[in-house]
């Protein structure tokens, strides 16, 4: 699967200069590592002072200074810092819209082509995604042309991706994924790989982080050739959890809002832990 930026360039929607400009824009908008460490309170003030002194004296990067002083705990820091940056990264499509490198129409067009790299056609078109009308939360699905900074609100761009995500993850493919837990042919595995890849691609663009992790785990199982010996309950439970999260997205409810349900969140985390043990 090509990266979205690479695909945009190859299809002639943007130039390499546009892509670099967008990436620089993204980088400038993200906080520096020392700021992240400070905000997350991963180090004490005294430790931060020591790191800055070491960095200046030995002309090291901040991270290298942390490592040399023995303060960089990979198990804690890598996860916390990466998660922080992922939560603050804007989608490439939104940045290109803001910079005037793409129109909304061309973005919708190329996005559909990109998601279709899974190379299959759904049996039927889904209904238009309705706006959320539930009174259970106070976040309104307002019309937005830019990215949403609120994890509980989808931008216009993200709504379009939700439509594509739900189109690819329909009843037909839900049933096909459930069959992963039984004896299936090599051809069916190939189709499942295509389905999962296309669905996973769309999930990355709508901040469906947990869905992405679940899909990624299923893909790894297929790619490693683990088939009949699969832990059937784990696979079926995972697909059902994905479907439950998908149902929320089809109603315009962001995954972050759905996962305010602690029971559902715990089930997803348990499923991820279970999948990691397969094979």
Q: What is the pLDDT of residue 55?
A: 92
pTM above threshold 0.75: no
pLDDT of res. 216: 86
Q: What is the pLDDT of residue 65?
A: 92
Model pLDDT, residue 233? 67
Q: Which sequence spans correspond to the domains of the chain? A: 4-88, 103-276
pLDDT score at 226: 56
Q: What is the pLDDT of residue 128?
A: 38
Predicted local distance difference test score (pLDDT) of residue 129: 34
Give the long-range contacts of residues 210-215, CB within 8 A, separation 24 or more: 210/245, 210/255, 210/259, 210/265, 210/268, 210/272, 211/242, 211/245, 211/246, 211/255, 213/272, 214/238, 214/241, 214/242, 214/268, 214/271, 214/272, 214/275, 215/242
Cβ(166)–Cβ(246) under 8 Å?
A: yes
Q: What is the spatial distance between Cα 170 and Cα 184, in angstroms, rounded to a whole number? A: 20
Residue 184 has a pLDDT of 66
- pLDDT score at 120: 28
Place of tokens 């216009």: 156
Gap between the Cα atoms of 45 and 48, Å rounded: 5
pLDDT averaged per 10 residues in sequence order, the chain, 279 residues: 78 91 86 88 92 92 90 72 73 86 84 61 35 36 44 69 74 77 70 77 81 86 59 76 85 81 88 76
**Torsion over CA of 186, 190, 193 and 199, rounded to 10 degrees?**
-130
Helix (H, G, I), strand (E, B) or coil at 123: coil
């Amino acid at each position: 699967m090509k990266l979205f930026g690479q695909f945009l360039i190859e299809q002639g929607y943007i130039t390499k200069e546009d892509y670099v400009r967008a990436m620089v824009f993204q980088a400038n908008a993200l906080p520096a590592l020392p700021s992240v460490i400070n905000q997350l309170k991963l180090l004490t003030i005294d430790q931060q002072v020591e790191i800055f002194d070491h960095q200046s004296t030995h002309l090291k990067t901040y991270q290298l200074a942390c490592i040399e002083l023995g303060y960089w705990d990979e198990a804690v820091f890598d996860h916390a810092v990466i998660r922080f940056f992922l939560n603050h990264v804007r989608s490439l499509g939104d940045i290109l819209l803001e910079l005037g490198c793409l129109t909304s129409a061309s973005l919708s067009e190329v996005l559909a082509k990109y998601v279709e790299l899974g190379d299959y056609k759904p049996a039927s078109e889904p209904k238009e995604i309705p706006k959320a009308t539930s009174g259970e939360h106070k976040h309104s699905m307002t019309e937005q042309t830019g990215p949403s900074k609120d994890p509980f609100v989808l931008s216009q761009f993200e709504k379009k991706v939700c439509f594509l995500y739900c189109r690819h993850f329909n009843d037909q493919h839900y049933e096909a994924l459930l069959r992963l837990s039984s004896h299936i042919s090599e051809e069916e595995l190939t189709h499942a790989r295509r389905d999962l890849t296309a669905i996973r691609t769309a999930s990355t663009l709508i901040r469906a982080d947990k869905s992405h992790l679940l899909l990624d785990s299923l893909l790894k199982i297929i790619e490693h050739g683990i088939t009949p010996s699969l832990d059937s309950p784990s696979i079926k439970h995972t697909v059902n959890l994905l479907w439950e999260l998908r149902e929320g997205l089809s109603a315009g409810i962001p995954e972050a809002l759905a996962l305010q349900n602690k029971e559902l969140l715990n089930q997803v985390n348990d499923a991820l832990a279970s999948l990691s043990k397969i094979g």
